[in-house]
Structure 1
């Protein structure tokens, strides 16, 4: 395995629940989609920061050992997870709470059960809802984020990535497989703009943070609060237009990138 992927998938990798606990001293967790049940990989709910800023949070975690990784399906969200996130986001908009998503996932669950219960529709619904939010939303990549499964959370006003994290339409292994072995997994990472540095250079990522900082959790929490505070000065229509413009600008410069 590529050393970068080994580091990203390490058992002691900073997790979304750890950041959420530091970010929100008080939080009311939300569970289940009221149809299929709960998704263990998703930590979702509402809370207030130490500065009394209300937030809605969506955190995806792979687990830290064999037991928790099985329970959380390695971070691959199923339909219940996306529909739970959709419910939280809709309530956040209703009550005027900004939305913060913290991502470390291989992509969406691709099992026959998820497909049978409408996985693609659940992902599409969340992408659309995130794009039309009248409150600010922010995504933080703590590790990997691949495929439409991650894009559902990344349709955001602002994007923060740890310097060694990845964001792409497919995992490095999938890219290598699509190219029929013409590229190794390591080469696949460098072939497409999926690293934090590449995506920041192309204007998609707003902030890159060193994953080796001794005060990493505190730095992340402060950056989240600062970013949300800045975004809250914008009108609802501006927030919606800014999300679209961010991704459109990325697409427009793609042939020259």
Structure 2
């Protein structure tokens, strides 16, 4: 395995629940989609920071050992996870709470069960809801985020990435497989703009944080609060327009012939 992927997938990697606990001393978790049940990979709910800033949060966790990774499906979010996230986002819009997503996932679950219960529709619904949010939203990449499954949580006004994290339409392994072995997994990481530095250079990522900082959680908290406060001055119409313009500008770098 590529050394970068080994570090990203290490058991001691900073996890979404850890950041959420530090960010929101007061937190009320939300569980289940009112239909299929709960998704153990997702931590979702509402809370207040020490500075009394109300937030809605969505955090995806891959687990730390074999048992927890099996329980959390390795971070591959399932249909109830996306629908639970959608419910939280809808409540956040209703009660004017900014939304913060913490992402570390291989992509969406691709099992027959998820397909049976309309996984693609659940992802599309969350992408649309995040794009049309009338409150600020911020996405923080703590590790990997691939496919439309990750985009559903990352359709945001501000994108923050740890410097060694990845964001792409497919995992490095999937990219290498699509190219029929013409590229190694390591080469696939460098082939497409999926690193934090590449995506920042292309204007999609706003902030890159060094993962080696001593007080990493405190730095992440500060960047989140700063981003939310900056976005609070924008009107609902401006928030939607800014979000769309960010992704349109990124897409415009690859014209369709």
- Pick the TM interval, shorter chain: over 0.9
- Measure, in 1, the Cα distance between the counterparts of 2:254 and 2:209: 24
**How far 1:236 sits from its partner (Å)?**
0.3
Q: Which residue of 2 aligns with 1:9?
A: 9
1:211 maps to 211
Structure 1 residue ranges, 4+ long, deviating more than 4 angstroms after superposition = none
User: C-alpha distance in 2, partners of 1:154/1:254?
Assistant: 20
How far 1:254 sits from its partner (Å)? 2.9
- SS state at 1:152 partner: helix
- State the TM-score, normalized to the length of structure 1: 0.99
Matches within 5 A, 1:18-167: 18-167=18-167
Partner of 1:254, secondary structure, is coil
CA positional deviation for 1:253: 2.0
In 1, Cα distance between equivalents of 2:67 and 2:253: 44
Return the offset for 1:251: 1.1
**2:143 match: secondary structure:** strand
Q: CA deviation at 1:252?
A: 1.1
Distance 1:160 1:127 in 2: 18
Aligned length: 255
CA separation in 2, counterparts of 1:70 and 1:232?
39
Cα distance between partner residues in 2 of 1:75 and 1:91: 24
Q: Distance in 1 between matches of 2:191 and 2:254?
A: 13
Q: For residues 68 and 142 of structure 2, what CA distance do their matches in structure 1 show?
A: 18
Mapped pair 1:197 → 2:197: yes
| Superposition CA RMSD, Å | 0.5
Q: Can you give the 5+ residue segments of structure 1 that lack an aligned partner in the other structure?
A: none
Q: Deviations over 1:190-220 (max 9, x none)?
A: 0000000000000000000000000100000
Which runs of 5 or more structure 2 residues have no equivalent in the other structure? none
